[in-house]
A and B are shown apart, each in its own frame.
Chain A
Amino acid sequence: MLEIRNLHVTVDDKPILRGLDLEVRAGEVHAIMGPNGSGKSTLAYVLAGREGYVVTQGEIRYMGRDLLALAPEERAREGIFLAFQYPVEIPGVANVYLLKAALNAMRRHRGESELDAVDFLALVKGKLKLMDMDEALLYRAVNEGFSGGEKKRNEILQMAVLEPRLAILDETDSGLDIDALKVVANGVNAMRSPERAMILVTHYQRLLDYIRPDRVHVLALGRIALSGGPDLAQDLERRGYGWVEAEAQKRHAASAGGPG
């Protein structure tokens, strides 16, 4: 579903990703871990198409297409979803209105008819239960005055409504207490399916106690320094990121001067 090859990304002319490779197949859940500043969120933003994240080398193929050629909204309509680390507040725009506009934009893109208010509400209410969210949140302005936990749950609610093919969850666990974390994890687990892939970007292993990934990757110095099965996360929790970084540094030094 997703193939990333030799991806180099700069932000404000500063190289952040330096030769990242990653392949994600339908049905898989991948965890991207790594210390702060290793480029995890950059990867998430590049996939979603955020401006200011400049790809200087490499390619990303999604469903066999060149992802980088698509505008952010086109990517979304093609099934890519980013759950934000810091969900954005939009005063004055009701949460339900944004959801409906988003869903109908996607339905139009797929050549389906738009949902009317009645059908749409029925759909959303079902998803609300899944997220253990109060219906009142639908009528509040998007993320405005939401608690940290409400914001994160709102992201997962959007994901549940939009049913993406590839979901990228950027630090969705940060700032959640254990109950909220469980609710979010349940929502994510309920969405796992053979047609859907997920990338969980996380600093801590904690989330992975509730969502068991197929693969775990460690980012260091802008590339994937280490990959493994779900047990790798526990290793990291025990040993920290220092040793992965140190080894990446050594490899980087060895390859310096060689073709980049």
Chain B
Amino acid sequence: MGKRSVQLDELISQEYRHGFYTPLDVDDVPRGLSEDVIRVISAKKQEPAFMLEWRLKAFRHWLTMTEPHWATVHHPPIDYQDIVYYSAPRGKADGPQSLAEVDPELLRTYEKLGVPLQERELLAGVAVDAVFDSVSVATTFKEKLGELGIIFCSFSEAVRNHPDLVQEYLGSVVPYTDNFFATLNSAVFSDGSFCYIPPGVRCPMELSTYFRINARNTGQFERTLIIADRGAYVSYLEGCTAPMRDENQLHAAVVELIAREGAQIKYSTVQNWYPGDKDGKGGIYNFVTKRGDCREANSKISWTQVETGSAITWKYPSVILRGDNSVGEFHSVALTNHWQQADTGTKMIHLGRNTRSTILSKGISAGHGSNAYRGLVKVAKSAAGARNYTQCDSLLLGDRCAAHTFPYIEVKNPTARVEHEASTSRIGEDQLFYCQSRGISAEDAVSLIVSGFCKEVFRQLPMEFAVEAQKLLGVSLEGSIG
């Protein structure tokens, strides 16, 4: 067993491939957080007064809050005054107007990451918004989308060019008082993506945001706001990476989704922030609030996430099922290796009649990784005929990792039907040997078993992303068995 564990470790220990740093001249603010810093950020972004007001309200509220500690994650105290809250490649504080204005060094960075920003090189059908540290550096296919009335731009641009939409929807799903990290984000968020799909429009391409943290000691606080108006449809992808650093970096994002009558939003994430090294040094603290609001009848929001990175992941993409007959879905694969910790899951809040939700969570733990599913299914008194199906499966590699499941179920309406299934299994020596005796190497056997375990979730991802996710999972587990 001892020997096998060593081999397991080897297969798990694969180097992080996006860990490089791009030396760039940056425009940043001094470390620490104060009203002055917030005013500086707001000024740099030339924001209207309502935005600054909102930030300051959030900041004042944040001062009254304390960091939450209920999750099954452990980390040394975070010094919020030791973080740089704004960092932008110099000269681009308000974002470049076209790709031609983007620093070539930056374009090369994204190329290295496999995210080409040149529109002609793009995979057909994916429009990209790239967020580098604190600002959005490029958004592609803007004009083409514009013809359909779709707005897809950086958040800063939206604040300047579409203030009415921003003012109407910002904080309407995740209010600035929501929780410690979301409130911090509301005070200091520097950029992110904004998307509006007008009534009856089916967005013809996948929209995607690619986040990268580059600068040292910088927190990334982006904010994404997606509105699908009546009968609209959009599929949105999000990818993330960061350089390898010994110190931990904070990433506290907020994503708000609003689906109006009959609208559909499909939000997919492949999160591959730097997870720290194999001894647990460094890595991103990924403390994220994601929530969707099925605001009107017959709307649908589905979250699909593949979480392989970050030292700590703390996120619960949720759906408020407000409209009658609305549908919420959560599909998740979370992998923790080495010393990574994940506490992730979802909340399905059933308010409307005949609302339905599905939760499918797959946790994989390897090395000393710890993986918790935490989910709330709440059926309000008003939600007659609500239905939920939850399935949580855990897969363990080796004998030093951990898996936990915390399902919370609150049902206030007797006509509701809520089902919960859970399982835990382990990739055993006997399974590996069985595959090996059929000519399949141990590494291939692990990836065979892991992809079998995840396939229901991968099926939910857009094709290109599914391939990427599968590869990522293989890489994240490589070296765990020799």
Interface residues of chain A, those whose CB is within 8 Å of chain B, are 48-51, 71-73, 75-77, 81-82, 84, 87-94, 97-98, 101-102, 105-106, 109, 141, 158, 162
Contact = CB atoms under 8 A, between A and B. Distances in A.
A73 B481 CA distance: 14
Contacts, number: 81
B452 A77 contact: no
Interface in B419-455: 425, 428-431, 433-442, 444, 448-449, 452-453, 455
B417 interface: no
Contact of A90 (B3, B434, B444): B434
Contacts of B449: 90, 92-93
A93 B452 contact: yes
Given A101-B440, A105-B441, 9 more contacts: A48-B437, A51-B4, A72-B437, A90-B435, A91-B425, A98-B438, A102-B438, A102-B439, A105-B439
B7 to A, nearest CB: 9
A71 B435 contact: no
Q: Could you tell me the dominant secondary structure of chain B's interface residues?
A: helix
Contacts of B439: 73, 76-77, 102, 105-106, 109, 162
Interface string B110-149: 0000000000000000000000000000000000000000
**Residue from B429, B433, B437, B441 having most chain A Cβ neighbours under 10 A:** B437
A247 B142 CA distance: 89
Contacts of B436: 49, 71-73, 76
Given A93-B448, A141-B452, A162-B439, A84 B434 contact: yes
B433 A72 contact: yes
A88 B437 CA distance: 11
A51 B3 contact: yes
A105 to B, nearest CB: 4
Contacts of B444: 101, 105
A90 B440 contact: no
Nearest to A81: B437
Number of chain B interface residues as a range: 20 to 34
A82 B448 contact: no
Which of A76, A106, A109, A141: most chain B Cβ within 10 A? A76
A102 B440 contact: yes
A97 B448 contact: yes
The winner among A50, A91, A109, A158 for most chain B CB atoms within 10 A is A91
Contacts of B440: 73, 76, 98, 101-102, 105
Contacts of B442: 73
Contacts of B437: 48-49, 72-73, 75-76, 81-82, 84
Pairs of residues from A and B, 7 with the lowest C-beta to C-beta distance, nearest first: A92-B452, A93-B452, A76-B439, A102-B438, A72-B436, A88-B434, A105-B439
Contacts of A94: 452
Contacts of B425: 91
Interface of B: 3-4, 425, 428-431, 433-442, 444, 448-449, 452-453, 455
B283 to A, nearest CB: 29
A88 to B, nearest CB: 4
Contact of B453 (A48, A72, A81, A92): A92
B3, B435, B439 — most chain A CB neighbours (10 Å): B439
B431 A98 contact: no
Contacts of A101: 435, 438, 440, 444, 448
A101 B452 CA distance: 13
14 contacts: A49-B436, A51-B429, A71-B436, A73-B440, A76-B440, A90-B448, A93-B452, A94-B452, A98-B435, A101-B435, A101-B444, A102-B438, A105-B440, A141-B452
A69 to B, nearest CB: 15
A73 B432 CA distance: 10
Contacts of A109: 439
Max chain B C-beta neighbours (<10 A), residue from A75, A84, A94, A102: A102
A49 B441 CA distance: 13
Contacts of A93: 448-449, 452
A51 B433 contact: yes
Contacts of B438: 73, 76, 98, 101-102, 105, 158, 162
Contacts of A162: 438-439
A26 to B, nearest CB: 20
Nearest to B442: A73
Given A73-B439, A92-B455, A50 B448 contact: no
Nearest to A50: B433
Given A73-B440, A77-B439, A105-B439, A90 B433 contact: no
B452 A87 contact: no
A48 B425 CA distance: 25
A141 B4 CA distance: 25
Given A73-B440, A76-B438, A101-B440, A91 B452 contact: yes
